[in-house]
Structure 1
Amino acid sequence: MTDSQPAGLLSPQAVLAAYQVLKKVVKHTPLEYNPYLSQKYDCRVYLKREDLQEVRSFKIRGAYYAIMETPADQRQKGVVCASAGNHAQGVAWTSHQLNIPSVIFMPTTTPKQKVDQVKFFGQENAKIQLVGDTFDAAQAAAFEYCDEHHLTFIPPFDDLRTMAGQGSLAVEIFNDAKDEDLDVDYLLTAVGGGGLISGVGAYTKSVSPQTKLIGVEPAGAASMDLAFKESHPTTLESVDKFVDGAAVKTVGQLTYQNAKQTVDQLVAVPEGQVCSSILELYSKCAIVAEPAGALSVAALEGLKDELQGKTVVCVVSGGNNDIDRMQEIKERSLIYEGYQLYFLVNFPQRAGALKYVVNQVLQDGDDINRFEYTKKMNRAKGPVLIGVQLGCLENKAPLLQNLAEFDPHYINLEENHSLYEMLV
Structure 2
Amino acid sequence: MNKQNPPSIEVRGHGGGASYFPDIVDIKQAAEAIRPVSEVTPLMPNIGYSKALGANILLKREDLHQIRSYKIRGAYNKISSLSREQLDKGVVCASAGNHAQGVAFACNHLGIEATIYMPSVTPKQKVEQTKMFGDKWVTVVLEGDSFDDSSKAALQYCKAQGKTFVHPFDDPKIIEGQGTVGLEILDRAKEPIDFIFVAVGGGGLAAGLCGVFKALSPNTKIIGVEPEGAPSMRTSMDLGKNTELDKIDKFIDGAAVKKVGDYTFDICSKYLYDMITIPEGKVCQTILDLYNRDAIVAEPAGALTVSALDFYGEEIKGKNVVCIISGGNNDITRMAEIKERALLYGRLKHYFIIRFPQRPGALRQFVVEILGPTDDITHFEYSKKTNKENAPAIVGIELKSPDDLEPLIHRMKKNQFFGDYLNDKPDLFEYLI
- Same fold per superposition (TM over 0.5): yes
Partner of 1:271: 280
Aligned match for 2:386, one of 377, 383, 386? 377
The Cα of 1:328 is off from its aligned counterpart by: 0.7
The more displaced of 103-112 and 181-190 is 103-112
Deviation at 1:406, TM superposition (A): 2.9
Aligned counterparts of 1:422 and 1:123: Cα–Cα separation in 2: 41
Contact 2:146 / 2:250 at 8 angstroms: preserved in 1? no
Equivalent in the alignment of 1:415? 424
Equivalence for 2:256:
247
Which residue in the other structure is 1:200 paired with? 209
Distance 1:309 1:133, change over 3 A: closer
Deviation at 1:133, TM superposition (A): 4.2
CA–CA distance in structure 1, aligned partners of residues 147 and 192 of structure 2: 40
Q: Which amino acid aligns with 2:334?
A: R
The Cα offsets for residues 281-302 of structure 1, whole Å up to 9 and x where unpaired, read as 0000000000000000000011
- The answer to whether structure 1 residue 230 and structure 2 residue 239 are counterparts is yes
User: Who is 1:88 aligned against?
Assistant: 100
More helix by share: 1
SS in 2 for 1:103: strand
Which range moves more in the overlay, 6-15 or 246-255?
Answer: 6-15
The secondary structure found in structure 2 opposite 1:289 is coil
TM superposition shift of 1:134:
4.1
Shift of 1:408: 7.2
Alignment correspondent of 1:73: 85
Name stretches of at least 5 consecutive residues in structure 1 with no aligned partner: none
User: Are positions 1:158 and 2:170 aligned together?
Assistant: yes
* Contact 1:345/1:407 (<8 A) preserved: no
After superposition, the Cα gap between the structure-2 partners of 1:309 and 1:126, relative to the gap in structure 1 and judged at 3 Å, is same
For each residue in 1:258-308, what CA deviation from the matched residue of structure 2 results, as whole angstroms up to 9, or x when unmatched?
A: 111210001111111100100000000000000000000000011111111
Counterparts of 1:295 and 1:213, CA distance in 2: 14
Q: Secondary structure at the match of 1:305?
A: coil
The CA deviation at 1:24 is 3.3
| Aligned position for 1:364 | 373
Partner of 1:344: 353
Query: What is the CA distance between 1:39 and its match in structure 2?
Result: 0.8
Q: Which has the larger displacement, 347-356 or 305-314?
A: 347-356
- How big is the shift at 1:146? 1.5
The amino acid of 1:19's aligned partner reads A
Q: How many pairs align?
A: 417
Once the 2 structures are TM-superposed, how far is the Cα of residue 106 of structure 1 from its aligned partner?
Answer: 2.1
- The answer as to 2:226 corresponding to 1:217 is yes
Q: Which runs of 4+ in 1 moved over 6 A?
A: none
Whole-Å separation in 2 of the counterparts to 1:391 and 1:148: 58
Q: Aligned partners of 2:388 and 2:144: how far apart in 1?
A: 47
The reply on whether 1:131 has 2:140 as its aligned counterpart is no
Partners of 2:19 and 2:76 in 1: how far apart? 23
Aligned to 2:415: 406
SS, match of residue 266 in structure 1: strand
1:262 corresponds to = 271
| Cα offset, 1:202, TM superposition | 1.1
CA RMSD in angstroms comes to: 1.6
Q: Secondary structure at the match of 2:229?
A: helix
For 2:37, give the aligned amino acid.
V
CA distance in 2, matches of 1:174, 1:292: 23
Residues 354 and 417 in structure 2, CA contact (< 8 A), matched pair in contact too: no
Cα offset, 1:56, TM superposition: 0.3
Q: How does 1:28-107 map to 2 (within 5 A)?
A: 28-107=40-119
Q: Is the 8 A contact 1:365 1:392 kept in 2?
A: no
- Give the partner amino acid of 2:204: G
5+ residue gaps, structure 2: 1-12
User: Structure 1: how far apart are the matches of 2:23 and 2:313?
Assistant: 32
Between the aligned partners of 2:184 and 2:54, the Cα distance in structure 1 is 25
Contact 1:219/1:269 (8 A) holds in 2: yes
Name the structure 1 match of 2:122.
Answer: 110
Among 267, 287, 292, which residue is 2:301 paired with?
Answer: 292
Q: 1:261 to 1:28 in 2, by over 3 A?
A: same
Distance 1:206 1:137 in 2: 36
Q: Specify which of 200, 206, 209 is matched with residue 191 of structure 1.
A: 200
Partners of 2:171 and 2:117 lie apart in 1 by 18
- Aligned-partner Cα distance in 1 for 2:83–2:112: 13
Q: Which amino acid aligns with 1:57?
A: S
